[in-house]
Amino acid sequence: MLRDIVRIDEAKCNGCGLCVPACAEGAIKIIDGKAKLIADNLCDGLGACLGHCPQDAIIVEKRNAAAFDEAAVEAHLGGPPPAAAAHPGHPPAGGCPSAQVRDVAPHGGGGCPSAQVRHLAPAAAAGSSEAAPRRSELRQWPVQMHLVPPSAPFLQDADLVLAADCAPFAYADFHRDLLQGRALLIGCPKLDDGQAYLDKLTAILRQNRVRSLTVVHMEVPCCSGLIAIARRALEASGAATPLATVKVTIGGDLA
């Protein structure tokens, strides 16, 4: 069928590997020092990898190719993770000065409020009535992975949840069932910088004793990229942290 699909110019490619984690479907690998599209049916043609190539070696072209196969992507991502590509000089994500770790009061001033590291006190129980509002189980701020510094105190000895941005919206009981007593990181492997997420999570696992890591992802194949990031971070960090995965359906159930 005629459709949009990625094409990699091997003459321009220098094998840096930045495109590999940027492809949430795992359709690109470094082979013999060059980035290669390993199967047409794994590429959705949206080009999330384009902006990560410093050599402008990747374009999206229209040509005859096998249809994008979500089932094939899911099966592919369920396999062992590819080895992390060497990427020297990649700066840590999050340039806001207030992302520097410090003890802050719940309403401390200075810097970007979205990046101020803080502990949140548990909300008072509202009673058992079904009509009573549910309490938040969030115990820290920030939660977006780009903003959380690896040295944040809430990461030490934590049971850590790495959740796709959409999961808490789809699963109504996310706080009660998946967040209670845990630290939280959120991100989108499809739209955000996968390499930055990999670097950040690797640093977190190296600098902290994380007791467990649970990846909560949506059922759509691209969201499984979070699992690949988690596996690669565990491998790169050398951490023996147990990994669990939870899949949330678009209809709001646990699969």
Q: At 243, which CATH number?
A: 3.40.50
Q: Are 149 and 244 members of one domain?
A: yes
Q: How does residue 83 score in pLDDT terms, banded at 50, 70 and 90?
A: very low
What are the pLDDT digits (tens) for 137-146?
Answer: 999 999 999 8
In a domain, residue 108? The reply is no
Q: Are 144 and 216 members of one domain?
A: yes
Residue of 8 and 16 predicted with greater confidence: 8
pLDDT of residue 120 exceeding 70, the answer is: no
pLDDT of residue 202: 95
Q: How does residue 84 score in pLDDT terms, banded at 50, 70 and 90?
A: very low
What residue numbers bound the domain in which 151 lies? 114-119+136-248
Q: Are 240 and 141 members of one domain?
A: yes
Least confident stretch, 66-70, 83-87, 137-141, 228-232: 83-87
Q: How does residue 127 score in pLDDT terms, banded at 50, 70 and 90?
A: low
pLDDT of residue 186: 97
Domain termination residue (choose one: 77, 93, 128): 77
pLDDT of residue 97: 36
What are the pLDDT digits (tens) for 96-119?
Answer: 433 334 333 343 334 455 456 666
Domain termination residue (choose one: 77, 102, 128): 77
In a domain, residue 104? The reply is no
pLDDT of residue 190: 80
Contact 171, 252 (CB under 8 A): yes
pLDDT of residue 210 exceeding 60, the answer is: yes
Residue of 193 and 101 predicted with greater confidence: 193
pLDDT of residue 138: 94
Give the number of domains in the chain. 2
Helix/strand/coil (H/E/C) assignment for every residue in the chain: CEEEEEEECCCCCCCCCCHHHHCCCCCEEEECCEEEECCHHHCCCCCCCHHHCCCCCEEEEEEECCCCCHHHHHHHHCCCCCCCCCCCCCCCCCCCHHHCCCCCCCCCCCCCHHHCCEECCCCCCCCCCCCCCCCCCCCEECCECCCCCCCCHHHCCCEEEEEECCHHHHCCCHHHHHHCCCEEEEECCCCCCHHHHHHHHHHHHHHCCCCEEEEEEECCHHHHHHHHHHHHHHHHHCCCCCEEEEEECCCCCEC
In a domain, residue 178? The reply is yes
CA distances from 1 to 61, 62, 203, 219 (A): 13, 10, 43, 26
Contact 37, 75 (CB under 8 A): no
In a domain, residue 91? The reply is no
Q: Are 64 and 160 members of one domain?
A: no
In a domain, residue 253? The reply is no
In a domain, residue 45? The reply is yes
pLDDT of residue 240: 96
pLDDT of residue 89 exceeding 60, the answer is: no
Instruction: Return the percentage of the chain with pLDDT > 90, whole number.
Output: 53
Average pLDDT of the chain is 81
183-187 vs 243-248, strand pairing mode: unpaired
Q: How does residue 124 score in pLDDT terms, banded at 50, 70 and 90?
A: low
Least confident stretch, 2-16, 49-63, 195-209: 49-63
